[in-house]
Amino acid sequence: MEENLVIVESPAKAKTIERFLGKEFLVKSSYGHIRDLAKKNLGIDIDNGYRPHYIVSPDKKKVVSELKKLAGSAKTVWLASDEDREGEAIAWHLAEVLALDPEKTRRIVFHEITKEAIQEAIKKPRGINRDLVNAQQARRILDRLVGFELSPILWKKIQPSLSAGRVQSVAVRLLVEREREIMQFRPTSSFRVTAQFTFTDSKAKEHVLNAECPTRFSTLEEAGNFLESCRKARFTVTDVSSKPAKKSPAPPFTTSTLQQEAGRKLGFSVSQTMSVAQRLYEAGKITYMRTDSVSLSQMALGVARKTITGEFGEKYIKTRQYKTRSKGAQEAHEAIRPTYLDQKTIQGTQTEKKLYELIWKRTIASQMSDAELEKTTVQIGISGSSEKFTATGEILKFDGFLKVYRESSEEEEEARHLLPPVNKGQVLDPRQIVATEKFTQHPPRYTEASLVKKLEELGIGRPSTYAPTISTIQQRGYVVKEDRPGTSREYRVLTLKEQQVQSETRTEMTGSEKSKLFPADIGMLVTDFLVEHFADILNYNFTATVEEQFDEIARGKLDWQQMIDRFYDHFHRKVTETLEQSEKKTGERFLGHDPVSGEPVTVKIGPYGPMAQMGESGGENKPRFASMMKNQRIETITLEEALRLFKLPREVGKYEGKEVTAGIGRYGPYLKYDGKFYSLNRKTDDPLSVNIERAIEVIREKTEKDKKKVITEFEEDPNLKILNGRWGPYIKYGKDNFRIPRDRVPEELTFQDCKEIIRKGKSTGKKKS
């Protein structure tokens, strides 16, 4: 029996700490929260002071019973969960569920995982901070109330299975509003003039100097006039000035900045970054990856100094301690850094290595000297004109941290080079002067990582929820992540060369997008609905406002039930009102009349997604319906595009004497042949124009695949089959599926074998909550 049981949140942390504490200490993990509100009937007794009804989460039953046993036999139980609101609540739930005797229970916290810090913590135990626990309960209850009262309104008024919440609904709103800005955006153009000059120095060496006119000309005519005025002009250097500049490194990684940089530099998605980081953490290579803190431990700072001295020398060192500036940060952990900073690389997969090296570089760079630059500006006068040209250059005097790490924004900057040695008074020869038409850009669409950044700035969501939030809004269909091709656009160019001005038109690609988040129709509809009825919750400051109140609760200045009551009173009234009064929302938009029948054509969200309708329900003729295509949007589809949809399903041709038709169904575009359905490729096949050759190809491919799908069929019972599925072979019996034991060969199973497996094994399907 162990004298002492220490409980932390993460098993990897438990392993490390156990090494520091010695034999009398057994360190175990709770795997995060062990209890949560019951899912049935809200899990909150509203009439009894919002009393929460907690139950042990099904997947935590095992952990809890093990901890209970160990706690019973230990002399002292040390609750060492994180020092933030959630951590305090975990400690409290543990004390409750394990029925810990207060006499033998101690609450401790440490900020670094080092032997000293932990031993220090053991010397200074305290009790559980009930105010902090209450702040967490208020947070939890508020989120449950909002989520479980808003979502059912959406099921009734818009579509089943939709969801709304304090965090996700605001995330979608950000995307919807940005998309609307982009839709309304009209680019304007102006002309940018650049010049290439040459001159020879005293040693008769020729140099090239690139310069730009700071004035933008709004029309082709103005740009032309300017070039005309340059035709016979003299160009003289009127001023050369230099000034020093500095660049400082970025702070070490937090969850959010790691996600951003891994996205930009390595092309990782937010969830990919987190799972690679998790593996690095579990292998002991990096510190905890869900953190909002930018601070480094004293120990880490020391090792950083040593490593930098060894790698680059003394003058590259500048020890810095960063302070977090993001709202609502709780800083229970360190920044994300390598556990051993003297390890520049590690063993592992390619992705693990890449992410580790990124973290190493960022951490080391944060402790290095500023880069020193010299910025030079050259002014060039034009005779007979008040306009001028300027040339700028940058020289790196001392690289400092840039030796190891550049933020992506710095990388993207044009590589500025050294200017040629010009002096004031130097006369320049114009080789060519070019006026190019440039268009203004619409505001950028969000990527996964830039959305996380925005949420963090607004104080919405936590490091542990950024990745899940991003996937939830995609799963609900509110948002899609995709690439979109650009369109070509013409732009005009004027070139002055050898005293001649020439005009031409060129084309460029514009507006192409890669891995961007686009709101779908349902996301726009739900957002509009929520903003209309629950403006306060959809407000970007809602979280910040309630966070202030949670903080007051944590400081013992506000009663949590009072706070919730004040919120719920107003909120619930709005809920009832909306359920009673608001109409079902379909986002219907009228497009025009069908030129053939004269029937009205509308688009809206139907029970199976966005659809077009011709004719009115309840009118003389039954209305016709057609699903919209994946790339069409209710807000932007035209009458012509909608009319084309009604041409489906259409006959494609004949194959072996039987008719092949094409249409769009619930699961995308399809072919129908001989009573069976064949999916078309969403991206490359268009059911409106697909030809019979392609159709036959699709049908043949599918037939081939289906042949391989069935491994065995039984005469004894046609309901029983051995099939090849997504996760390998399995047994299908009626509606239920069964796994095949690992030691059996699927091809050799007999009817009796299968019956046996079915009898023994319970279905792998449907899980109970």
Could you list the active site residues? 288
Contact pick of 487, 507, 581, 769 for DNA (by CB under 7 A): 769
The DSSP line for 81-123 is --SSHHHHHHHHHHHHHTT--GGGEEE---SS-SHHHHHHHHH
Contact pick of 465, 471, 510, 582 for DNA (by CB under 7 A): 465
Token duo for residue 157: 């008024």
| Options 109-117, 192-200, 412-420, 664-672: segment touching DNA (CB under 7 A) | 664-672
| Distance from the Cα of residue 7 to its chain's centroid | 32
Instruction: Give dist(CA 217, CA 126) in Å, integer.
Output: 69
The DSSP line for 689-715 is T--HHHHHHHHHHHHHHHHHHEEEE-S
Q: Is 511 in the site for DNA (CB under 7 A)?
A: no
Strands 624-627 and 736-739: unpaired
Q: Do the Cβ atoms of 52 and 137 come closer than 8 Å?
A: yes
Q: Is 607 in the site for DNA (CB under 7 A)?
A: yes
Percent helix, percent strand, percent coil in the chain, to nearest 5 = 40, 25, 35
Q: Do the Cβ atoms of 614 and 620 come closer than 8 Å?
A: no
Amino acid making up residue 185:
F
Contact pick of 234, 608, 651, 691 for DNA (by CB under 7 A): 608
Q: Is 352 in the site for DNA (CB under 7 A)?
A: no
Q: Per CB under 7 A, which of residues 445..464 are in contact with DNA?
A: 460-464
> 146 vs 373, which CB is nearer to DNA?
146
Minimum separation from the CB atom of position 601 to DNA (A): 14
Contact pick of 140, 178, 406, 454 for DNA (by CB under 7 A): 140
> 391 vs 554, which CB is nearer to DNA?
554
Minimum separation from the CB atom of position 443 to DNA (A): 25
DSSP, collapsed to helix, strand or coil, labels residue 69 as helix
DSSP code of 622? Answer: P
Q: Is 768 in the site for DNA (CB under 7 A)?
A: no
DSSP code of 228? Answer: H
Minimum separation from the CB atom of position 653 to DNA (A): 19
Q: Is 437 in the site for DNA (CB under 7 A)?
A: no
Beta strands in 180-266 (DSSP E): 189-200, 206-212, 235-247
Contact pick of 74, 91, 94, 167 for DNA (by CB under 7 A): 167
Instruction: Give dist(CA 173, CA 525) in Å, integer.
Output: 10
DSSP code of 448? Answer: H
Q: Match 């995308």 to its residue by tokens.
A: 668
Q: Is 37 in the site for DNA (CB under 7 A)?
A: yes
The residues, any chain, with a CB within 8 Å of residue 408's CB and separated by 6 or more, are 261, 264, 265
Minimum separation from the CB atom of position 83 to DNA (A): 11
Q: Is 11 in the site for DNA (CB under 7 A)?
A: yes
Instruction: Give dist(CA 183, CA 131) in Å, integer.
Output: 48
Size of the site for DNA (CB under 7 A): 86
Cα atoms found within 13 Å of the Cα of residue 324, Cβ hemisphere only = 24
> 139 vs 403, which CB is nearer to DNA?
139
Q: Per CB under 7 A, which of residues 684..713 are in contact with DNA?
A: 705-706, 709
> 210 vs 661, which CB is nearer to DNA?
661
| Options 5-13, 240-248, 345-353, 556-564: segment touching DNA (CB under 7 A) | 5-13
Q: Where does residue 2 rank: exposed (0-12), middle (13-18), buried (19+ CB within 10 A)?
A: middle
Contact pick of 25, 82, 227, 356 for DNA (by CB under 7 A): 82
| Options 106-114, 147-155, 371-379, 635-643: segment touching DNA (CB under 7 A) | 147-155
Minimum separation from the CB atom of position 682 to DNA (A): 11
Q: Is 724 in the site for DNA (CB under 7 A)?
A: yes
Contact pick of 28, 33, 107, 337 for DNA (by CB under 7 A): 33
Amino acid making up residue 457:
E
Contact pick of 511, 609, 653, 746 for DNA (by CB under 7 A): 609
Minimum separation from the CB atom of position 309 to DNA (A): 33
Q: Is 477 in the site for DNA (CB under 7 A)?
A: no
Instruction: Give dist(CA 442, CA 178) in Å, integer.
Output: 10
Q: Is 661 in the site for DNA (CB under 7 A)?
A: no
Q: Per CB under 7 A, which of residues 287..316 are in contact with DNA?
A: 288, 290
Binding string to DNA for residues 196 to 235, with x set by CB under 7 A, is what?
----------------------------------------
Q: Per CB under 7 A, which of residues 524..553 are in contact with DNA?
A: none
Minimum separation from the CB atom of position 63 to DNA (A): 10
Q: Is 625 in the site for DNA (CB under 7 A)?
A: yes
> 408 vs 621, which CB is nearer to DNA?
621
Q: Is 424 in the site for DNA (CB under 7 A)?
A: no
Contact pick of 330, 474, 515, 561 for DNA (by CB under 7 A): 330
| Options 94-102, 196-204, 549-557, 658-666: segment touching DNA (CB under 7 A) | 658-666
The residues, any chain, with a CB within 8 Å of residue 132's CB and separated by 6 or more, are 85, 88, 89, 554
Q: Is 668 in the site for DNA (CB under 7 A)?
A: yes
Task: Please give the backbone phi and psi of residue 396, each rounded to the nearest 5 degrees, phi first.
Answer: -85, 115
| Options 18-26, 46-54, 281-289, 562-570: segment touching DNA (CB under 7 A) | 281-289
Q: Is 646 in the site for DNA (CB under 7 A)?
A: no
Binding string to DNA for residues 371 to 410, with x set by CB under 7 A, is what?
----------------------------------------
Q: What is the 3-state secondary structure (H, E, C) of 358-397?
A: HHHHHHHHHCECCEEEEEEEEEEEECCCCCEEEEEEEEEE
Question: In this structure, what is the dihedral angle of CA atoms 84, 88, 90, 93, given to the nearest 10 degrees?
Answer: -160
The residues, any chain, with a CB within 8 Å of residue 672's CB and separated by 6 or more, are 649, 660, 661, 662, 663, 678
| Options 3-11, 121-129, 297-305, 751-759: segment touching DNA (CB under 7 A) | 3-11
> 3 vs 282, which CB is nearer to DNA?
282
